[in-house]
Amino acid sequence: MSKTKSHKRSYLFLSVAQRLSKLYLEKLLPLEEMYQFERFHSPPLTDADFDNRPMVLLMGQYSTGKTTFISHLLEQTFPCMRIGPEPTTDGFVCLMHGEVENVMPGNVAVVDRRFPFRNLTNFGNAFLNRFTLVQLPNEFLDSISIIDTPGILAGEKQRLSRGYDFSAVLEWFAQRVDLIILLFDAHKLDISDELSQAIKSLKNNEDKMRVVLNKSDQVGTQQLMRVYGALMWSLGKIINTPEVMRVYIGSFWAEPYVNLDNSKLFEAEALDLYKDIQRLPHYSTVRKMNDLIKRARLARVHGYIIATLKKELPMFGKENKKRELITNLQEIFLKVERDYHVSSGDFPSVQKMQELLIGQDFTKFNNLKPKLFDTLEDMLSKDITRLMFLMREEEAAAAAAMAATEAAAALVDKP
């Protein structure tokens, strides 16, 4: 990987993310606050949600080489690093860049506004006691953060209780990371019940998933072909996608290959994987932009729903009318869709909204504020489009500048 290029590109996309943050604060957050978006959907976004580096989530059964793989990427060992044939990683370890080496317990990390982990408090102390944030002055982490997950259990061990909802935590991370790497050991491909459940929790994030068939140098070519076929067949039963999932074959550690028959293949596969990771700063910014658009469309519909419920509330008999409105919420949705010309795909679940509305005081809802919706529409139709063009222009300019620098360096190096 070209670390210098990755480093410079990360700052380019970081500047775009900062502009997204400004758009959110000025044009979306006021509408969210007016119509109590947080009570129904999700808390307000923070600077960390926009500024944080792309994140890679590593998953796999124990002894598939996850921790060694991370050490290979970083070219160094790190705190909380434990390697062994039995389950050694009992918790989630997040590796992020820092000026000095620092280990931060989960309960501290989730309240630090520099990091995008505030909502992990919903999983309770049983999880937070097994969550650690490690900061390192590592050049790789200057562009990309890594999350190491507990080794997934197999056989009798999977009956052990972790004390928290493991699949729900994986789902939370999967929605927020930019790449999910599933590691498998070429020696053992048995997919345990816990691993199967964990993979199913990644539903709707299949586009982020990559598979690494690790320790492939320790088997012969014929056996490797059989292992690869068995892996694809097993994954096909769990992951229902029309596309064939990308599988990288190799041995991702610093030691020499045991079997050299496929060394050129392993080197080419490793290079492809590193290039995939290197492109993350671009994909991360596009994802943040897409997530902000989806959030804005939901907030717009939510605002219309709340304003309509407020308008339907009479002077007298408020409680009876409230129950009636909640019961007939589907009709309110249809009215909003018809009156404000919004897409039916932007609406939240009727059942979930009904459950949340039961505990709300409708008299504290706000009426329609057209100016807020006009401002939001301006953001969606003009500002986001302008920012997308700006991102392409800046990316092209950065690439041209990098090419000129490399050409100048090549001339200097010529005898």
Q: Tell me: pLDDT of 190 over 80.
A: no
CA distance 239 to 344: 28
- pLDDT at 96 > cutoff 90: yes
Can you give the pLDDT at residue 156? 46
What does pLDDT average to over the chain? 84
What is the average per-residue pLDDT within 94-106?
93
Nearest to 38 by CA among 131, 123, 118: 118
Where, residue-wise, is CATH 1.10.268.20 in the chain? 1-51+282-415
Task: Summarize the confidence of residues 263-275 as an average pLDDT.
Answer: 90
Length of the chain measured in residues: 415
Cα–Cα distance measured from residue 312 to residue 302, given in angstroms and rounded to the nearest whole number: 15
Min mean pLDDT across 102-116, 149-163, 329-343, 374-388 is at 149-163
pLDDT band at 321 (very low <50, low <70, confident <90, very high): very high
End-to-end CA distance of the chain: 26
Domain with CATH 3.40.50.300 in the chain: 54-278
Mean pLDDT within 111-138: 91
SS (H, E, C) the chain: CCHHHHHHHHHHHHHHHHHHHHHHHHHHHHHHHHCCHHHHCCCCCCHHHHHCCCEEEEEEECCCCHHHHHHHHHCCCCCCCCCCCCCCCCCEEEEEECCCCEEEEHHHHCCCCCCCCHHHHHHHHHHHCCEEEEEECCCHHHCCEEEECCCECCHHHHHCCCCCCHHHHHHHHHHHCCEEEEEEECCECCCCHHHHHHHHCCCCCHHHEEEEEECHHHCCHHHHHHHHHHHHHHHHHHCCCCCCCCEEECCCCCCCCCCCCCHHHHHHHHHHHHHHHHCHHHHHHHHHHHHHHHHHHHHHHHHHHHHHHHHHCCCCCHHHHHHHHHHCHHHHHHHHHHHHCCCHHHCCCHHHHHHHHCCCCHHHCCCCCHHHHHHHHHHHHHHHHHHHHHHHHHHHHHHHHHHHHHHHHHHHHCC
pLDDT the model gives residue 402: 63
Contact at 8 Å (CB) between 141 and 75?
Answer: no
* pLDDT above 90: residue 378: yes
Q: What confidence tier does 158 reach under pLDDT thresholds 50, 70, 90?
A: very low
Please say if the pLDDT value at position 6 is more than 80: no
Q: What is the phi/psi pair of residue 33, to 5°? A: -70, -40
Q: What is the pLDDT of residue 102?
A: 93
Q: Tell me which amino acid residue 255 is.
A: E
Q: What angle do CA 119, 174, 206 make, to 5 degrees?
A: 155
One-letter amino acid of 172: W
Average pLDDT for 57-79: 85
pLDDT at residue 390, rounded to an integer? 75
* pLDDT on residue 68: 86
The pLDDT of residue 243: 67
Structure tokens at 83: 């390697």
pLDDT band of 325, cuts 50, 70, 90: very high
Mean pLDDT of 386-409: 71
**Model confidence at 114: pLDDT above 80:** yes
pLDDT band at 194 (very low <50, low <70, confident <90, very high): confident
The confidence band for 9, taking pLDDT boundaries of 50, 70 and 90, is: very low
CATH 3.30.300.30, applies to 54-278? no
User: Which tops the pLDDT comparison, 1 or 39?
Assistant: 39
Domain formed by 1-51+282-415, architecture = Orthogonal Bundle (1.10)
pLDDT tens digit sequence for 38-62: 999 888 888 888 888 889 999 888 7
Instruction: Look at the block and give the residue holding tokens 């001339």.
Output: 411
Q: Is the pLDDT of residue 269 over 50?
A: yes
Q: What percent of the chain has pLDDT over 70?
A: 87
CA distances from 38 to 34, 173, 351, 362, 402 (A): 10, 20, 18, 16, 43
Residue 295 token pair: 């959030």
Please determine, for residue 413, whether its predicted confidence score (pLDDT) is greater than 80: no
